[in-house]
Each structure stands twice: as structure tokens, then as C-alpha cells.
Structure 1
């Protein structure tokens, strides 16, 4: 995908279209079922929900670390804002800057916004789609019928499994790839966040909490939101980041 320099504000729309296509193509498809069958055998999922140490390593641990990161960023943002209002010597300013974070107030604000908006948006969508988890379905020992997204919305089932919310917390770190200060590290950031998000998503798939498409759509939607908000916070910086990632796929695989 080739992006022009003046198309910054529309990159997110292309990503959104890709997200919708992925949702319509994979959600509750045979591909989803075949993948889930790999983790389900003889009436049992590969691991049990809340089984330790897996729950701590792949659920509680990452969740706690992301919350701590958000709290840290809030603290740093307050300190930087208060510091900017006070007349402090350049030396002290430099020391404080190096001690807490090299990011600007705008970058910290953007990253905090992403960390909040991405999981919140996914959680709201889950409440609207009413899509069942694999372990809810009769195909995998559950009690609910197999329905697509539209049928689930119409049926208004109590299920809330699509898109994947837990993985979205990891994918929210895509915001780091759009920070101007970290521009030279964007490839590694993109790779690392993708691995983190899919690790968190795969964990939930191992005991039937999500289909493959639930995590895929969560990833694409998280990237879409990160891109859209970066176009607001950084304007022309966004295109170069997406362009670099899309034109150099060998560096992100």
C-alpha cells in the first residue's frame, strides 16, 4: 500500500476498511472453527480457565503492568505540566527530563489516550455485538447455537466475546510506534507489540474464550484507533510511520 504525504488523515480510514473486511471474512468462519478445534479435544480445552501459572503470566501480569504504565504516564504528565509552569533552571530541567521520560507532554498525552480509548472501544463493541465465545457453543460442549455477528446482535444474547478485549490492552501499545521521539524504533515496537498482543490473545484461545478472528479484528481496530488519533496529535508524522511499516513488510515480520 503506497501512501502519499497528503493522505495522513485518511490512512486510518483504509485501516478501518481492512478491519471491517477481516471481520466479515473471518468472524465465525470455518477457518475460525478449525483453529479452535486445535485447542479442543475429547471434551476438554488445552488448558483450563484461570489455571496457574498461565493466568498470572498471560492475564493478570500483563494487565497489572499496563495499569502501572498508565499510572506512571499520568504521574509523569502531571510532573511535566507543573514543571512547564514553573521557572526552573535549565540544568534542573534537563535532569528531570532525563530521569522521568524523554517524551514530550503531547506524546505522553497521546499514549495515555490510546491506552484508555483502545480497550474502552473494544469493550463497548463487545457489549454491542453479543457474539458468543467458542466455549459457549454446542460445537465445543457449550449450550448456545452457532451464530454469525448479525444473528448474535439480533438475538441479543448475553455473550460478550467479540472483539477480544484482553488482547486489545496489549495492542494499545501500538501507540508507541507513532511517537515522533521513538521514530527510529518503530519497526521493533510494531513487532514487539504484535507479538505481545497475539500472545495475550492466544492464551484466551487456548481455553475457548475467543476465536482467531476476535484477536485479529482487535489488532486491526487497535492499529486503526492509534493511527486515527496520531493524525490528530501529530498530523504529518503519521504518514511516514505507516508508510515505513507498509512499504517495508520484511522488517516487520
Structure 2
């Protein structure tokens, strides 16, 4: 039972995501929070202001792209090594220094880095939710509508969920890697801070409501958890079955040895 106890977590996270969306859509919490960043007709930070734009927008995107390229390069290198047994033996130590992750883990992490922002971007194109700085309430020219009204009106806005923050939240995939299992709570804390820092930056000049980043975080967790279930469920189950089988064989051998000794 313990092997599959985490498999339903992504469903719970999905339900939590839906609840959070409905809660904020039917309340004024987003408006009240955004008013904290908007005073005297101006946002706390002007969009594109340097060096903040580079530190909190351009640099994180660049680092994540470089991480993706690195993972692809490692997969290509391993594929070439696997085709030549001599290379496998010769470069075993080098490969371990390159990354301690297994090929399956690298494939999972790469898929997460692509799938999470892509899914968020897809949803943005469907929800048509306006950014705070688009609204009349905050000096814009659009009325405040809930998500259902925005979908029906087919407004040109695409602000929900938060895509920029989702790129940071995609690093939650690191917490689900078996190799890094012992560091999962620390990884979760660091990634949460990174994602919310990226999200808060966009909130400072009205590009997102609080709920946009919150839902982005929960949805990112849902996707990373669901993919982890697919990638790591069966290997873990097989390993557990192997351990159980070896344990039974060991117990049988010990029993037989004990019986012979007594006779």
C-alpha cells in the first residue's frame, strides 16, 4: 500500500487548484491585494525598469533555458555512450561527475521543464483573463470580469495563470527525483521562494493578480506530481517486489539451514 500511497496526490492538488481558483474568482481578495502595489495612480515598479527586469525576468528565463540545453546534451551524450560499450566503461566516472541523475530522471526533469510552462501558456490562451493594469480600477480600459465572463467575452487578454512564475515552479520536478529524495523538502522550499519571487516581480507593476501566481504554483505541482507518478511508479514497484522476493528467499534459506542444524 505504501508504494502507491503518493499516486493520488496529484488529484488532490488538482482539486486544490480548482478550489483556489473558485475562491478568488468569487471574492475581492485579488483586488485588495493588488491595491497594495498601486498608489496615486502608479504601480510600485514601472514595467521594464532595470536592473530589476534583468534580475527577475531575463536572467531566470536564460538560466532555465540553459538548464534545458544541458539536460538535452547529457541525454545525447549518454545515447552515444550506450551505443559503444567501450565508451560506457571509459566514461563511467566522467558521466557520474557530469550529473548523478539517471537517464529516466533527466528525461522526467526535461519533460517537466517543457510541460509546465506550455500547459500554463495553453490555459492563458483559453481563460482570456485580464491583468490588473488592463483594468479601469487600475488605470486601464477594461472592466473587471470573472474568469467565466472573460471566456465568454473572448477578451484579448492572456494573464491567467501566471506563465513567468510557472517557469520557476517547474523546478518542483527536482523534488520528485529519487536521487534527490532526501533533499525534497529543502528543494520544495527553495523552488517556492524562486517561483514567488518571479511572480511578485510581475505583481509589482500590475501584470498579475495574486491568484494568478497561486494557481500557477498549484498547477505546476499537480503536473510535476502526475508526471512523477508515471515516470517513477513502476520502477519503484518493481524494486519493492524484488526486495520482497529476495527477503522471502533469504527467510526460506535461513529456515532450511536451521532445520538441518536441528536434525
Same fold (TM > 0.5): yes
Counterpart in 1 of 2:79? 81
Once the two structures are TM-superposed, the CA of residue 237 in structure 1 deviates from its matched residue by: 8.1
1:139 to 131, 137, 140: 137
- Structure 2 gap ranges (5+): 238-263
- Cα distance in 1, alignment partners of residues 47 and 236 from structure 2: 39
Instruction: Give the structure 2 partner of residue 129 of structure 1.
Output: 127
Structure 1 residues 87 and 236, CA gap change in structure 2 (3 angstroms): closer
SS in 2 for 1:215: helix
Note the residue ranges of structure 1 that are not aligned, 5 or more in a row: 240-253
Partners in 1 of 2:4 and 2:164 — Cα distance?
Answer: 35
Query: Which of 98, 102, 107 is the equivalent residue of 1:109?
Result: 107
Q: SS at 1:9's partner residue?
A: coil
| Equivalent residue in structure 1 for 2:38, among 37, 40, 48 | 40
Verify the 8 A CA contact 1:28 1:211 in the aligned structure 2. no
Candidates 34, 49, 52, aligned match of 1:51? 49
- Structure 2 counterpart SS, 1:199: helix
Match of 2:178 among 180, 184, 197: 180
Q: Is the 8 A contact 1:8 1:235 kept in 2?
A: no
1:64 to 62, 65, 75: 62
- What do the CA deviations read for 1:173-232 (whole angstroms, capped 9, x no partner)? 000000000011111100000000000000000000000000000000000000000000
Alpha carbons of structure 1 residues 83 and 160: separation in structure 2 relative to 1, 3 Å: same
> Which residue does 2:233 correspond to in 1?
235
**Aligned mate of 2:22, from 17, 21, 24:** 24
1:154-193 to structure 2, matched below 5 A, reads 154-193=152-191
Using the alignment, how far apart are the partners of 1:236 and 1:76 within structure 2?
Answer: 24
Conserved? CA contact 1:118–1:172, under 8 Å: yes
Give the secondary structure class of the aligned counterpart of 2:97: helix
CA distance in 2, matches of 1:172, 1:232: 17
- Aligned-pair CA distance for 1:95: 2.0
Which protein is bigger by CA-based radius of gyration? 2
CA 103–231 in structure 1, closer or farther in 2 if over 3 Å, else same? same
Distance across 1 between alignment mates of 2:236 and 2:129: 33
TM norm structure 1: 0.89
8 Å CA contact retained: 2:82, 2:88:
no
Separation in 1 of the partners of 2:68 and 2:127? 28
RMSD: 1.8
2:85 is paired with a residue whose SS is: coil
In the superposition, the TM-score normalised over structure 2's length comes to 0.86
In the TM superposition, residue 4 of structure 1 has moved relative to its aligned partner by 5.3
